[in-house]
Each structure stands twice: as C-alpha cells, then as structure tokens.
Structure 1
Amino acid sequence: MKEIKKLIDIVLSCSQAETALLDVPKQSVKEKKFIQGIELGYYISDEDAAKDLYNASPNDVRYKMLKHRVKKKLFNELNYVNAEKVTANFVRQKEIQCNSLIYQANIVRARYEFDLVISLANKALALAQEFDFIDLKVSALELLTLSYAEQGLIKKFTAAQEDLKLTMQRFVNEREAVSMFQNINMQLRKSTKTRKEFLPQLPLLIIQLEKLWQESGTFSAYYAFYRTSIWYHELEGNFKDIITITVDALRLVEQNKINAHRFDLTYNNFIMVYAHLRAKQLSDGLMYAQENLGLYQPSTRNWFAYMENYFLLAVHARRYDLADILLQQVIENSALQTIPTIAKERWMLYRSYFRLIYPQAAVPEGEANNPYLLSLPEYSKDKLGFNVAILTLQFIYLLERGETEALLYRIESIKKYVSTHLKDAFSLRSKLFLKLLVLTVTEDYDAVACRTKGEALYKRLMETPAPGDAYAEIEIVPYEHLWDLILQILAKAEVNLKVRSR
C-alpha cells in the first residue's frame, strides 16, 4: 500500500497532464475507485481497500490482480512525467530530459528508423556534453555508432567510435571515483567512533580521488575529490585548507575546468564562510558573507543556516552593530517558525549570548523579565553540543546578580562536567575555560587575583586552536572574549561594593 501511495503522489504531482492518471479510458471502474480511495485517504491499509472493493481480505486473488494492474500502470505513467514538476533542480531536470531522449531513441531503433535514432541521439549527446553527464554521453554515442554503421556513414562512424572510446575511459575512472566516494560517505555517516577510526584512511583516498579526477576530467569525479577533501579537513579542524579548496573551486569554475551548471555555489559559499569563521579569518569571512548573501532565499532553511555563520562572524569580530542588524533580520523573518526545533533553539541561545555582550541590543517584547532566557530546553547530555555554552551562560548570569551560593552549586556541576565529558584532546579549549570559571569562585570573585592566577590558563587558551567540527562544542562568543567580560563584571562589582560601603 505504501509503495502505491508513493507512486500515486509522484504521478499526480509530476504528470504532463494532471488528469492523465484518472483518464476514464485508461482505468476500469475498480482501478479508478482504488486510486481515488488511496489519494483521498479512504484506504489506509490493504484491509480497508479489499473490504470496500471486494468485501474480501487482501489475500483475495481479485484484489491482488487489481493492485498488480494499478502498480504497472503507475510505473508506466512515469515515462510521461514533466521534468520541471519532478524536481526544482535544473541539472536534474536536464538529466531526466536526456534520459528521455535516449529512451525514445531506443524505441525507434527497435523499428530500424536510424535517421530518427541519429536525430534523438544527437540531441541527447548535446545535453550530455553541456552538463557533463558522462554515462549518458556513452549511451548517446553507442546509439550513434550503431546508426552510422547501419547506414554506412564511415567518417561519422569513425569519429563517433573514437569519441566513444575516450569517453568510456573517462567513464570508468569516474565510476571508480564515485564508488569510492559513496563508500567514504557511508563510513562518515556512522558513529563518531567509526568516523574517528576511519579518518586516518582519508589522506590516501583523497590522493587517489584527485588522480581519478585528473584522469577523467569529469564533474562527478571532481565532486568526489572536493567533498571528501572538505569532510576530511573539517573533521581534522584544518579550516584554512577548506578556504583554499573553496577558493580554488571558484577558480576552476571560471576556467571551465569543472562544469559550471553542476557546481553548487550555495554550498561552496556556505562552507567557505564557515571555514573563515573557524579559521578566525574574520574580516575576509565577513566580506564573503555579505557578497554572497543574495544566493539564499530568506524563506529557506539554508538562509537561516547561512545567517548563523554570518552572525557568528560578526560576533567574533566584535562587530556588534552588524550582529544586531543580522539578529533582527532573523527574528523578524516569519519563516523562523518553519525551521527545525534544534535550529530555533540555537538562535535562542545566540540571542541570549548577544544580550550578554551587547546590552543595548533590541529586546523582543515579553523577554525583559528573563534577559538570558534561562528557561532553555534541556540539551543532550552527550559531550557534543551546547552544554558548555549553557553552563557558561547561566554562570555569568548568576555572577552578574551576585548570587554566590548559587555559583558554589554551579561550580560543582562544572567540575563534574569537566571530569566526566572533557577528557579528550579536542575538548581542551572548553576544559581550560571552565577551569577559569571555577577559579573565579575559588578566588572569591577578586578581579585582580583572578586575572593574575588565571593568566597561565588564559595564555594556554589563546594558544589552543579550535577542534575539528565533529567534536567541537559551540563557541558562540570566543572564550577569550567571555573571560574579558567576566573580569569586567568582577571589577565593576568591586567598585559598586566600595561605593556602597562609603
């Protein structure tokens, strides 16, 4: 039942004519009633349909034959879909059109109409070459060599045969690259432990993928090399290398060395901006982020994801005026309610941190009594995520309010968190910063003592690079900036205490 339901949805949404499937001459009364019943939600299960149509069980032979006929007709309808309705992806539309031309050419070939075969195959070949569909180029050239041979067109046959030979060699290399890429993708989608174990194999695989791309010159081979390289450097935390890869990709597009139709500028720009953030190349990152913002529609999830990196670049660069503008654009975007819950929670956390470091930020109505949104949802207790960010936010909130007893309790939670979750090398920055928070309490909130005794930890923090993406806690505001803020809060509290004691 699920398979038929999916087929009906595809056919009705993608058919050349919206009523093609339900055209009376094509359907028996039972078939039409069956299709409409599923489409309208009357038949949730086989039991429902069989009972209504035949007053029988799903094992009834009449019902089984009905399902078989309908399924066969649904699959047949896929031959007549409108490519533009199937997908909004322009490249995929062209791929469907190219496949359709080859399918049509094979039909007329069966009737030995080789003039028609040549016409259709040449159209398919032109599309395949324009969009670098190497597999479809092979199919088109095979049809052309067959047709030229049948018609005795020696020169055309020889040229097509030579083109086919070279294309086949490129196709073999491309398929090897794609197969490797698929295996890499599968391995990296497994658990964090599996990814870490697989990681040492990637440098050699990347070298092999680069060679296959250079030998084939195809987009798919390049894409396998490009994406695998980005994944590896992201997992290793080599963000400057990612910047080099993304900038080089743009150069290759401009030089027509990779297919411009198929290259995803939105992804390349997204990862480029993200890499600038993680590599702390903030000025260049802000420039790229502003230049390419127009690639993303404000109503899409991609826009919100892109704005996260843009906003964090502004915060890390201490461009708080710009960050305030970007944050307001996000908050005022009505599509904010349509993004995934975890993404909305991240924006909630960003807003809380921004209010902390930029008190003059606009405060949405209803939040004045909860300035740091301490009613945050409980995040995963796993060491990856936002745990340090939430612990830090709540600590600074209590520090500003001078709630020493609550801070003593919070310190115990922080110590436990450090000993339980921050044992690995990739957690060093978070571990060092949380130790500075503990120092604040153990030094009895003395700004001078905290600055002096925390200097060694602070220096180590500044010298410790950010870990790779797979293992990193989110630094919404750089830990160095937060430590400066904490020292300011302590110094201000001491001044206020002296004023009150006079």
Structure 2
Amino acid sequence: MKEIKKLIEIVLSCSQAETGLLDVPKQSIKEKKFIQGIELGHYTSDEQAAKDLYNTNPNDVRYKMLKHRVKKKLFNELNYVNPQKVTANHVRQKEIQCNSLIYQANIVRARYEFDLVINLATKALMIAQEFDFTDLKVSALELLSLSYSEQGFIKKFTAAQEELKAAMRHFVMEREAVSMFQHATVQLRKSTKTRKEFLPQLPGIIEKLEKLWKGSGTFSSYYAYYRTYIWYHELEGNFKEIIAITVDALRLVDHNKINVQRFDLTYNNFIMVYAHLRAKDYTDGLAYAEKNLLLYNPTSVNWFSYMENYFLLAVHAQHYELGDILQRKIFDNSSFHIIPTIAKERWILYRSYFRLVYSQATVPEGEANNPYLLSLPEYSKDKLGFNVAILTLQFIYLLEKGETEALLYRIESIKKYVSTHLKDAFSLRSKLFLKLLVLTVTEDYDAEACRTKGESLYKKLLDTPAPGDAYAEIEIVPYEHLWDLILQILAKEEASTKARTR
C-alpha cells in the first residue's frame, strides 16, 4: 500500500496531463476507485481497500491482481511525467529530459528507423555535453555510432567512434571516482567510532580522486574529489584548506574548468563562509558573506542556514552592530516558521548569548522572563553541541545576579559534566573554559585572583585550536571573549561593593 501511495503522489504531482492519473485510458471502474480511494485517504491499509472493493481480505487473488495492474500502470505513467514538475533543480530536469530522449531513440532503433535515432540521439548528446553527463554522452554516442554504421556514413561513424572512445575512458575514471566517494560517504556516515577509524585512509583516497578528476576532466569526478576533500578537512579542523579549495573552485568555474551549470555556488559559498568563521579569518569571511548573500532566497531554509554563519562571523569579529542588524533580519523574517525546531532553538540560544556581549541588542519583551534559558537542563542528548553553551549561559546569568548558592550548585554540575563528557582531546577548549568557570567560584569571585590564577588556563585556551566539526561544541561567542566578560562582571561587582561600604 505504501509503495502504491507514493507512486500515486508522484504521478499526480508530475503528470503532463492537467487532469492527472484518473483520466489515463483503459482503467477499470475498480482501478479508478482504488486509486481515488488512496488519493483521498479513504484507504490507508490493504484491509480497508480489499473490504470496500471486494468485501474480502488482502490475500484474495482479485485484490492482488488489481494491485498488480494499478502498480504496473503507475510505473508506466512515469514515462510521461513533466520534468519541470518532478524537480525544481534545473540540472535534474535536463538529466530526465536527456534520459527520455535516449529511451525514445532506443524504441525507434528497435524498428530500424535510424534517421529518427540520429535525430533523437543528437539532441540527447547536445544536452549531455552541455551539462557534462558522461554516462548519457556515452549512451548517445553509442546510438549514433550504430546508426551511422547501419547507414554507411563512414566519416560520421569514424568521428563518433573517436568521441565515444574518449568518453568511455573518461566514464571509467569517473565511475571509479564516484564509487570511491560513495564508499567514503557510507563510512563517514556510520558511527563516530567507524568515522575515526576511517579518517586516516582519506588522504590517500583524496590523492587518487584528484588524479581521476585531472585524468577525466568530468564534473562528477571533480565533485567526488571536492566533497571528499572538504569533508576530510572539516572533520580534521583544517579550515584554511577548505577556504583554499572553495576559492579555487570559483577560479575553475570562471575558467570553465568545471561545468558551470552543475556547480552549486550556494553550497560552495556557504561552506566558504563557514570555513572563514572556523579559521578565524573574520575580515575576509564577512566580505564574502555580504557579497554572496544575494545568492540565497530569504524565504528559503538555505538563507537561514547561511545567516547563521554570517551572524556568528559578526559576533566573533565583535562587530556587534552588524550582528544586531542580522539577528533582527532573522527574527523579523516572515518565513522563520519554516525552519526546523532545532534551528529555531539555536537562534534563541544565539540571541541569548548576544545579549551578554551587546546590551543594546534588540530582544522581544516576552523573552525577558527567561533571558538565559534557565529552564533548560544542564545536559541532554537532544542538545548535543550546545551543552557547554547552555551551562555557560546559565552560569554567567547567575553570576550577574550574584546568586552564589545557585552558582555552587552549577559548579558541581560543571565538574560532573567535565569528568563525564569532556575526556577526549577534541574537547580541550571546552574543558579549559569550564575550569575557568570553576575557578571563579573557588576564588570567591575575586577578579584579580581569577585573572592571576587563571592566566595559565587562559594561555592554554588561546593556544588550543578549535577541533574538527565532527566533534566540536559550538562556541557561539569565543571562550576568550566570555572570560574577559566574566572578569569585567567580577570587577564591576567589586567596585559596586566598595562603593556601598564607603
């Protein structure tokens, strides 16, 4: 039932005909009733459909035959879908169109209508060459070679054969590159343990992928190299390497070294801005972020994702006025509701942090009741990547309020979190910073004592680079900036205390 329901949804949404599937000829009354029943939600199970149509159960041969006929007709309808309705992706539309032309050419080939084969295969070849569909280029050239051979066109046959041999060589290398990329993908998407074990193999794989791309020159080979390269260096935290390949990709596009039609500029610029953030190259990162913002539709999920990196760049660069403008754009965007719940929670966390470092930040009135997320648990699996951020935010809020008893409780939670969850080397920055928080309480909130005794931890923090993306806790505001803020809070409180006692 699920398979038929999916097929009906696809055919109805992508059909060439305005009236859709129910007007397909030679459908029996029961077939139409069956399809309509599923489409309208009357049949959600085989039991319901079999009972209504035949007053029987799903094992009845009549019902089984009905399902078989309908499924066969649904799959047949996929031959007539409108590519523009199948997907908004222009490249995928052209791929479907090219495949359709090759399918049609193979049909007329079976009737030995080689003039028609040449006409259709030539059209397919033009699309395949424009979009660098190597596999479809091979198929089109094979059809042309056959047709020229059958018709005795020696010069055309010879030219097609030479082109086919080159395309085949490139295709073999491309398929090897794609296979290697797929193998890397399946390994990297398994458990963290598998990912860590597989990482040492990636430099060798990347080297082979680069050779395959340079040998074949095809887009798919480049894409396999490009994505694997980015993935590896992201996991290893080598963000300057990612900046280098994304900038080089733009050069290759400008020089037509890779297919302009298929290269995803929105992804490239997203990862470029993100890499600048992680590499702490804020000046160039902000310049790229502003320059490329127009590539993203403000009503799309991609725009919100891009704005996260843009906003964080502004915060890390301490360009707080720009940060305030950007966070207002986010929360004032009428499409904010379309983003996933976890993304909305991130933005609320970002805004809470932004209030710490920029007191003039624009914040809705209702949020003042729980400005620093005090209701959130100190640790939860659904907040992975944000647990240190939440702990820190709550700690600073209580510090500002002078809630010493509550801070003592938080310190125990922080110690427990450090001993339980920050054992690996990639957690060193978070571990060092949380130790500074603990020091704040153990030194009885003495600003100068905290500055002096925390100096060695602070220097280690400065010298410790951010870990790779796969393992990192998110630093919404750099820990160094937060430590400076904490010392300022302590100094301000000491000055207020002295003023009151005079």
- Please give the TM-score of this superposition, normalised by the length of structure 1: 0.98
Residues 238, 468 of structure 1: 8 Å contact kept: yes
Q: Could you tell me which residue of structure 2 aligns to residue 320 of structure 1?
A: 320
Deviations 1:369-422 (A, max 9, x none): 333232336763489411110110011001101111111111111111111111
Counterparts of 1:170-181 in structure 2, within 5 Å, are 170-181=170-181
Q: Any unmatched runs of 5+ in structure 2?
A: none
Distance 2:402 2:208 in 1: 59
Pair 406,185 (structure 1): closer, same or farther in 2 beyond 3 Å? same
Residues 109, 117 of structure 1: 8 Å contact kept: yes
SS in 2 for 1:201: helix
1:107 Cα deviation from its structure 2 partner: 0.9
SS in 2 for 1:367: helix
Distance 2:111 2:382 in 1: 64
Residues 388, 430 of structure 1: 8 Å contact kept: yes
Q: Could you tell me which residue of structure 2 aligns to residue 353 of structure 1?
A: 353
1:25 Cα deviation from its structure 2 partner: 3.5
1:216 Cα deviation from its structure 2 partner: 0.9
Deviations 1:255-280 (A, max 9, x none): 11100000000100000000000000
Deviations 1:268-299 (A, max 9, x none): 00000000000000010000001111111111
Residues 383, 422 of structure 1: 8 Å contact kept: no
Residues 384, 472 of structure 1: 8 Å contact kept: no
Deviations 1:407-464 (A, max 9, x none): 1111111111111111111011011111111111111111111111111111110011
Q: Could you tell me which residue of structure 2 aligns to residue 119 of structure 1?
A: 119
Distance 2:217 2:318 in 1: 43
Number of residue pairs matched by the alignment: 502
Amino acid at match of 2:374: L
1:20 Cα deviation from its structure 2 partner: 4.3
Q: Any unmatched runs of 5+ in structure 1?
A: none
Amino acid at match of 1:447: A
Residues 15, 81 of structure 1: 8 Å contact kept: yes
Distance 1:24 1:256 in 2: 45
Distance 1:75 1:90 in 2: 23
Distance 1:283 1:380 in 2: 35
Q: Could you tell me which residue of structure 2 aligns to residue 44 of structure 1?
A: 44
1:7 Cα deviation from its structure 2 partner: 0.5
- Large movers: runs of 4+ above 6 Å: none
SS in 1 for 2:84: helix
Amino acid at match of 1:225: Y
Instruction: Give the stretch that moved more between structures: 482-491 or 404-413.
Output: 404-413
Distance 1:367 1:230 in 2: 38
1:24 Cα deviation from its structure 2 partner: 6.3
Matched, 1:139 2:158: no
1:336 Cα deviation from its structure 2 partner: 1.5
SS in 1 for 2:88: coil
Residues 373, 390 of structure 2: 8 Å contact kept: no
Q: Could you tell me which residue of structure 2 aligns to residue 151 of structure 1?
A: 151
Amino acid at match of 1:487: L
Deviations 1:156-206 (A, max 9, x none): 000001110111010000001101111111111111111111100000000
Counterparts of 1:228-239 in structure 2, within 5 Å, are 228-239=228-239
Counterparts of 1:47-62 in structure 2, within 5 Å, are 47-62=47-62
Amino acid at match of 1:430: S
Amino acid at match of 1:327: Q
Deviations 1:28-65 (A, max 9, x none): 11111110001001111111111111111111111111
Amino acid at match of 2:240: K
Amino acid at match of 1:54: Y
Q: Could you tell me which residue of structure 1 aligns to residue 276 of structure 2?
A: 276
Residues 12, 18 of structure 1: 8 Å contact kept: no
- Please give the TM-score of this superposition, normalised by the length of structure 2: 0.98
Distance 1:251 1:165 in 2: 29
Q: Determine what percentage of the aligned residue pairs are the same residue.
A: 83
Q: Could you tell me which residue of structure 1 aligns to residue 393 of structure 2?
A: 393
Distance 1:310 1:379 in 2: 28
Amino acid at match of 1:11: V
Amino acid at match of 1:128: A
Deviations 1:105-125 (A, max 9, x none): 111111111111101100000
Distance 1:19 1:71 in 2: 19
Amino acid at match of 2:352: S
Q: Could you tell me which residue of structure 1 aligns to residue 197 of structure 2?
A: 197
Q: Could you tell me which residue of structure 2 aligns to residue 453 of structure 1?
A: 453
Amino acid at match of 1:471: Y
What CA RMSD, in Å, does the superposition of the two structures yield over aligned residues? Answer: 1.2
Deviations 1:319-344 (A, max 9, x none): 00000000011111122222111111
Pair 377,94 (structure 1): closer, same or farther in 2 beyond 3 Å? farther
Q: Could you tell me which residue of structure 2 aligns to residue 89 of structure 1?
A: 89
Q: Could you tell me which residue of structure 2 aligns to residue 218 of structure 1?
A: 218
Counterparts of 1:63-82 in structure 2, within 5 Å, are 63-82=63-82
SS in 2 for 1:329: helix
Instruction: Give the stretch that moved more between structures: 416-425 or 221-230.
Output: 416-425
